[in-house]
Amino acid sequence: MNKIKGIFAVLLAVMIITAFISPAFLTSYNIENLLRRSALFGILGIGVSFVIMTGGIDLSLGSLVCLVGCLTPWLIIDVGIPAPWVLSGLLLLSLGLGLLHGVLVTKLRLQPFLVTLCGLFIYRGVTRGILSDQTVGFGTSGTVLKSLGNGRIPVTDTFGLPIPLIILVLVALGAGFLLRRTLWGRHLIAIGSNETAARHCGIEVDRVKMGAYAICALLTGIAGLLIVLDTGTAQPSNFGNFYELYAIAAAVLGGCSLRGGEGTVIGVLIGATLVQVLRNAIVLIDGIPEASEFAVIGAVIMIAVITDEVMRRRSGKNKLA
């Protein structure tokens, strides 16, 4: 918990400042949008944090979002396979690819960075190849299905809970439970902390790691689905570009160390929200040139990280060696 105070403080600060400058920020429509976007990236962040906690990394995430996101409308609309088959098929495919990453990392002992970098290239390349670089989308059909991505459960006249948020809550609760309250989760953290020691304790390191990669890919697949159901259309060459960086940034902002063994689900959610609130604020506040959007995001993340570090040092729990 201590680890994410700084980020949380910065998130609050950004929200208060934006609300102060732009009255539109706190309208229910905007909050709904923000919740939906944060939910989508939150799912990605939680996924990748499983892998990061084992001391690995998953760079293939953006391309997997592309693969799932582009194939969904293509298979349903252009090829004409019934939606339930497509959805379950693609989620299974994601799971399978995640397992494959896991096998390559554990059995062949390849570096996770390399394995998933190849994934980054391959999944995007395959998607572009299959679709010959054409844009795909739902056109005007598939509204029932699409409500998974952009639907809402009305709460008041103007405000409704976006369905992705509900999915995120389920995912987050599941992830939290898995990490803190199961043998598997404890083993995962043990592996990230000291893999050799974990192996000496009879933990099936390879199995647990494969599980982490599989969960990451599955959640990525789910997020890819929801994102394309939300946007309604996808372009193979840039759908999901850089999402791995946003997801990893969310995870790391939320207290995951890339050396493994650390991280909390709630932290990842705060990290994901911070990035989305920032992007929203940049559009809402007049006078921030949009071209500098990235600069603002980068600078605020930097500030958040430094605040965090300073707070932690203050609290004196910081050690030297």
Partner 1 sequence: MNLRPPLLEVSSITKTFGGVTALSEVSFAIEPGEIVAIIGENGAGKSTLAKVMSGVHSPDSGFVTVAGSRCEFRNSAEAAEYGISRIPQELELCDSMTVEENLLLGREPLKSMGRLDFPECLKMTRSALEMVDLKIDPHQLVGDLGHGQRQLIAIARALHTSARMLILDEPTATLSPLETQVLLHRLIEMKKSGSAIVMITHRLAEVEEIADRVIVLRDGENVGSLEGKEIQRDAMIRCMVGRDLSPIEPEVSEFGDPRLIVRELMTQDHPEAVSLQVRSGERVAIAGLVGSGRSELLEAIFGLRPRSGHVSVDQCDLSRAGVKESVRAGLALIPEERSSQGLALQRSVSENASLPGLFREAGRFGTLDRHAGAAVAQKIVKELDVRPPRTDIPASDLSGGNQQKIVIGKWLDLNPAVVLLDEPTRGVDVGAREEIHKRIRDLSFSGKSVLFASSEMEEVLSLSHRIIVLSEGKMMGTLVSAETTEEEIMALATGGEIHE
Partner 2 sequence: TVKTTTTTTSSSAETRVAFVTNGVADFWVLAGKGVEDAATDLNVSASFHMPPDGLADQKRIIEDLLVKGVSGIAVSPIDPKNQTPFLDKVSARTHLITHDSDAPESARLCFVGVDNYEAGVLCGELVKEALPSGGKIAIFVGRMEQDNARLRRQGLLDTILGQERGVDAYEDASAVIKGNGFEIVGTLTDQFDMAKGKANVEDILSKHSDIAGCVGLFAYNPPLILEALEQSGRISEVKVIGFDEDERTLQGIIDGTVHGTVVQNPYEYGARSVAILKALAGGDKGVIPPGGIVNVPARIIRRAEAEAFREDMRKKLGK
Ligand X SMILES: Nc1ncnc2c1ncn2[C@@H]1O[C@H](COP(=O)(O)OP(=O)(O)OP(=O)(O)O)[C@@H](O)[C@H]1O
Interaction site with partner 1 (CB under 8 A): 180-184, 186-187, 189-190, 192-194, 196-204, 257, 260-262, 316-317, 319-321
186 binds, among partner 2, partner 1, a second copy, none (CB under 5 to 8 A by kind): partner 1
**How many CA atoms lie less than 13 Å away from 210 in the CB half-sphere?**
15
Do the Cβ atoms of 239 and 70 come closer than 8 Å? yes
236 binds, among partner 1, ligand X, partner 2, none (CB under 5 to 8 A by kind): partner 2
Q: Is 314 a binder of ligand X (CB under 6 A)?
A: no
Toward a second copy, which CB reaches closer, 92 or 114?
114
Q: Is 314 a binder of a second copy (CB under 8 A)?
A: no
Toward partner 1, which CB reaches closer, 17 or 310?
310
Q: Is 321 a binder of ligand X (CB under 6 A)?
A: yes
Task: Provide the sign of the torsion angle of the four alpha carbons 44, 212, 241, 128, taken in this order.
Answer: negative
Q: By CB under 8 A, name the one of 2, 88, 135, 182 that touches partner 2.
A: 135
Task: Provide the sign of the torsion angle of the four alpha carbons 173, 44, 114, 3, taken in this order.
Answer: negative
Sequence-distant (≥ 6) Cβ neighbours of residue 89 within 8 angstroms: 75, 81
Sequence-distant (≥ 6) Cβ neighbours of residue 67 within 8 angstroms: 93, 123, 124, 126, 127, 224
Element (H, E) at 154: strand 152-154
Taking the complex as a whole, how short is the minimal distance between the CB of residue 101 and partner 2, in angstroms? Answer: 24
108 binds, among a second copy, partner 1, ligand X, none (CB under 5 to 8 A by kind): a second copy
How far is it, in rounded angstroms, from Cα 260 to Cα 56? Answer: 7
Which range touches a second copy (CB under 8 A), out of 149-157, 177-185, 214-222, 304-312? 304-312
Taking the complex as a whole, how short is the minimal distance between the CB of residue 196 and a second copy, in angstroms? Answer: 6
Q: Is 109 a binder of ligand X (CB under 6 A)?
A: no
Taking the complex as a whole, how short is the minimal distance between the CB of residue 196 and ligand X, in angstroms? Answer: 11
Taking the complex as a whole, how short is the minimal distance between the CB of residue 317 and partner 1, in angstroms? Answer: 8
How far is it, in rounded angstroms, from Cα 124 to Cα 278? Answer: 28
Taking the complex as a whole, how short is the minimal distance between the CB of residue 284 and partner 2, in angstroms? Answer: 5
Closest Cα to residue 235, out of 136, 146, 149, 138? 136
Taking the complex as a whole, how short is the minimal distance between the CB of residue 260 and partner 1, in angstroms? Answer: 8
DSSP letter string over 243-296?
A: HHHHHHHHHHHTT--TTSS---HHHHHHHHHHHHHHHHHHHHSTTS-GGGHHHH
Residues within the interface to a second copy (CB under 8 A): 59, 108-111, 113-115, 117-122, 124-126, 128-129, 131-133, 196, 199, 236, 245, 248-249, 252-253, 257-258, 289, 291-299, 301-302, 305-306, 309, 321
Residue ranges binding ligand X (CB under 6 A): 319, 321
